[in-house]
Amino acid sequence: MEEGGGRRVVAVGAGLAGLGAAQRLRGHGSLRLLEAAARAGGRVCTRPFASGLVEMGAHWIHGPSPGNPVFRLATHYGLLGPEAAREENQQLEAGGHPPLPSITYSSSGRALNTQAVSKARDLFDALLTSTRAFRGSEEPPVPSVGQYLRAEISRRVSALGGGEEDARRLQLAILATCLKLECCISGTHSMDLVALEPFGEYVSLPGLDCTFPGGYSSLPHHMLSALPEGTVLLNKAVRTIRWRGSFREEGDETRDFPVRVECEDGDAFLADHVIITVPLGFLKEHHQHFFQPPLPERKAEAIHRLGFGTNNKIFLEFEQPFWEPQQQLLEVVWEDESPLEEPSADLEANWFKKLIGFLVLQPPEQHGHVLCGFIAGKESEYMETLSDAEVLSTMTSILRMLTGACSGPSGTVLPTPEAPTATWLLAAQGMTSTCWLSPCLTTLRIPGPCSSSSLARPPTAPSTPPPTGPCCQAGERPSDSTSSSGCPALFLSSEAGK
């Protein structure tokens, strides 16, 4: 904790937003950063698995280039590999979805023709890009991204596959897989929940996506170590934030503080300002009692209306790979699906069909032979109710079904993953904020610089989609000044984790 002649600030939550606020405020008075967990980092969480490390939360730096604050920090601390540091890599325009060498399996157990897959994917990417035309539109053609994509696919359906029925159905099945991938990227159960008008606010920075050789958690660890000793208090859960008050420290009648932060263990901290960087899910569940007095109605409404979805990862380790060395992504296409048809609501029987496929963790010398599956939405939440054994059995059956007609390297048979074989994030670890649809959403636009993060899109402030809500980048006021809404001592920075 730093002392000085400036104001006294308490920040709640030691994720990247809270740590960033602490860094920005160094030397500007006194600061305490309170974290309920036993570690800092929030949704950035690296853990040992198999012979290496896995990312339980944020995975990549998207757009690693000088305009990306996470990239700048990682470069400053020397946390990236030589490839990511190359100037050529930083200048590449990957468009937010850099292609990976992949193989696409169908549910009938065959590897799909790459040209057929590319044709459907190119169409989907073009339609997704066309949504940018509606940014700022007062009257978009339909409310949601999902509705828009279905309408555009319907207009082209007769021409898909060159008019041949089996090829047309296959194209629709591949497009359904593309839609599931976008659900993972946007952190939503359905693209019908994502508003069309603000969807184009996401800006992709140049640079080829990269990871941290020593794990993403190395970033918050370095940020934490750069702060003065005693600034961050772990295992310090906050119970209530009393603001708009007048509080004095015992024995000091000369100074009034407008904020009192009360912790579960009985400790209390007085401050001039408090910065809130807790997850949006926590605010949704607890904001009515967490803040005293309650938040202004428009901020409470924003918390209520801002969407929050679930992404989960499944890690599978194998003694030997059954995939080719050059393959980095194993995609899954269910041939009986179409984006023009409603998916089954029977989660028990069909939850695994939301799985988009498996990423091959690279390099194998660092991670071993590990696949990382991605699944989002209600199906993801249903999976959380199952045991490790049930998830493992299902994943093994899927992989054997998909590769049934395809022999692996040198004719190898698909092996059984080694234990421990399946792990996934709890819902609280795998969520992301996005601009979701809700009644009267357009009346709730609150301008201001915002940041969000997710499994697929780690915190990279300028390149992440600004959610509609009362949040601000760490250490910054929203552009609609809090003082105008009667919140002179309260800053909200929703750290929702991609």
Instruction: Find all residues with CB under 8 Å of 358, minimum gap 6, and list them.
Output: 316, 329, 330, 371, 372, 373, 399
Structure tokens at 204: 């992709």
Q: Which of 239-248, 328-337, 404-413 has the lowest mean pLDDT?
A: 404-413
Q: What is the pLDDT of residue 415?
A: 52
Confidence class for position 416, pLDDT limits 50, 70, 90? low
Q: Which residue has the higher pLDDT, 20 or 98?
A: 20
Instruction: Report whether pLDDT(237) > 90.
Output: yes
CA distance 358 to 98: 16
Radius of gyration of the chain (CA): 24
- The pTM of the whole model exceeds 0.85: no
Confidence class for position 411, pLDDT limits 50, 70, 90? very low
Burial class (CB within 10 angstroms; exposed 0-12, middle 13-18, buried 19+) of 178: buried
Mean pLDDT of 117-128: 95
**Which DSSP letter does residue 140 get?**
-
Confidence class for position 4, pLDDT limits 50, 70, 90? very low
Are residues 18 and 495 in contact, defined by beta-carbon separation less than 8 angstroms?
yes
pLDDT of 291-342, one tens digit each? 999 999 999 999 998 887 889 999 998 888 889 898 999 999 999 999 999 9
Q: Which of 169-173, 283-287, 312-316, 429-433 has the lowest mean pLDDT?
A: 429-433
CA distance 24 to 390: 46
Are residues 479 and 449 in contact, defined by beta-carbon separation less than 8 angstroms?
yes
Confidence class for position 77, pLDDT limits 50, 70, 90? very high
